[in-house]
């Protein structure tokens, strides 16, 4: 979901278990290097500590050497134990609340706000803000991600939902997981983006395989020989100077899906620091520099209430920085 967690991980008793299938590009590579490349939040040093502590298995056998060479069809399992000594503190960070009841809270996340803490970055996140706003949130969903059932990239703005009870957390986690796989589940999400250069045509559907980039292992690609399916529906809303305003609806929810699909089809998002391109048109380049982030906004989120079953739908207005980019290109 754009930015949502890839579902090659599960949570078992607060331990996050990652499952990695060795691909052709990984064969002959070091165990620690391949794991660090495939799990973005783990440094190579952190992976080596996990190996030393017996938390990594290859083919079901506990790994003992960080430099072990990998073979085709090896399956790696990495258990990341909960950071029991890490305390995530509540912080009085302003939130724009779109809806709240005893079970959940829906917010309009600003660009620049990280969703949940990670090692070395435990302050100033959405979770810190939620812990301050929702006094009973602690413990729902784990130490570092209380209440979190999906996420947006740091520099993507827009609608997010977090849960305030265990029953809501279980129900919405299952719904988002089903959506990520392209199944039913009641989740509907739409995004607005500025693509530069603009796509040809007025709309369509991007239906591809999806997986790790064969060379840049911390990036994703839709140009892979094998992988999961990814489907994005798009519609051109407005023609701009050297760009276009696009509305996108996700049928599946792969990590960075919108950004990758747009870039791989020749119309990367304006200002995208990972998948974007250098803009040669001075006016477009100036708009990208002023924006300072990928031009992506989660405009709509709809789902069934996890307890009452009522259909809920929320929209977040286009934020000021994207409004300025649009104005500069009209």
Which pLDDT does position 41 carry in this prediction? 74
* Model confidence band, residue 207 (pLDDT cutoffs 50, 70, 90): very high
DSSP-derived letter for residue 24 is G
Which pLDDT does position 7 carry in this prediction? 33
Which pLDDT does position 121 carry in this prediction? 66
CB 30 within 8 A of CB 68: yes
Of 289, 230, 286, the closest CA to residue 254 belongs to 230
Of 95, 92, 142, 98, the closest CA to residue 117 belongs to 142
The model's pLDDT over 157-182, given as tens digits with 9 standing for 90+, comes to: 999 999 988 888 888 988 888 888 87
* Model confidence band, residue 138 (pLDDT cutoffs 50, 70, 90): low
Q: Is the pLDDT of residue 85 over 70?
A: no
Between 131 and 249, where is the model more confident?
249
Q: Which domains does the chain have, with CATH numbers?
A: 9-80 (3.10.290.10), 191-298+325-329 (3.30.2350.10)
Number of Cβ within 10 Å of residue 160's Cβ equals 24
* Model confidence band, residue 2 (pLDDT cutoffs 50, 70, 90): low
Helices (H), 28-70: 31-38, 44-52
* Model confidence band, residue 90 (pLDDT cutoffs 50, 70, 90): confident
Phi and psi, residue 129, nearest 5°: -65, -40
* Model confidence band, residue 16 (pLDDT cutoffs 50, 70, 90): confident
Q: What would the mean pLDDT of 191-205 be, rounded to a whole number? A: 97
Between 184 and 199, where is the model more confident?
199
Which pLDDT does position 4 carry in this prediction? 43
Give CA 24 to chain center in angstroms.
Answer: 25
Q: d(Cα 196, Cα 322) in Å, to the nearest integer?
A: 14
Catalytic residue set: 153
- State the pTM of this model: 0.75
Between 231 and 26, where is the model more confident?
231
Q: What would the mean pLDDT of 221-228 be, rounded to a whole number? A: 88
């Amino acid at each position: 979901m754009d930015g949502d967690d890839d579902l090659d991980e599960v949570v078992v008793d607060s331990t996050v278990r990652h499952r990695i299938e060795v691909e052709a590009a990984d064969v002959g590579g070091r165990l620690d290097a391949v794991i660090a490349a495939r799990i973005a939040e783990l440094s190579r040093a952190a992976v080596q500590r996990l190996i030393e502590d017996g938390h990594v298995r290859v083919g079901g056998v506990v790994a003992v050497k960080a430099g072990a060479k990998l073979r085709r069809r090896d399956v790696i399992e990495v258990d990341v134990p909960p950071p029991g000594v890490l305390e995530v503190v509540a912080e009085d960070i302003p939130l724009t609340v779109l809806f709240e009841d005893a079970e959940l809270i829906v917010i309009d996340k600003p660009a620049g706000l990280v969703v949940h803490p990670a090692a070395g970055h435990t302050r100033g996140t959405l979770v810190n803000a939620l812990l301050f706003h929702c006094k009973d949130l602690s413990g729902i969903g784990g130490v570092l991600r209380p209440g979190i059932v999906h996420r947006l990239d740091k520099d993507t703005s827009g609608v997010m939902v977090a849960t305030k009870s265990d029953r809501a957390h279980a129900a919405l986690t299952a719904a988002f997981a089903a959506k990520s796989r392209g199944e039913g589940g009641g989740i509907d999400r739409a995004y607005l983006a500025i693509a530069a250069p603009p796509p040809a045509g007025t709309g369509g559907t991007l239906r591809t395989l999806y997986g790790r980039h064969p060379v840049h292992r911390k990036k994703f690609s839709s140009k892979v020989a094998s992988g999961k399916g990814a489907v994005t529906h798009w519609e051109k809303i407005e023609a701009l100077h050297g760009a276009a305003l696009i509305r996108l609806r996700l049928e599946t929810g792969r990590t960075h899906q919108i950004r990758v699909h747009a870039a791989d089809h020749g119309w990367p998002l304006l200002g995208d620091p990972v998948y974007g391109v250098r803009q040669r048109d001075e006016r477009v380049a100036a708009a990208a520099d002023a924006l300072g982030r990928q031009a992506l906004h989660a405009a709509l989120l709809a789902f069934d209430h996890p307890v009452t079953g009522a259909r809920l739908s929320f929209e977040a207005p286009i934020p000021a920085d994207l409004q300025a980019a649009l104005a500069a290109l009209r």
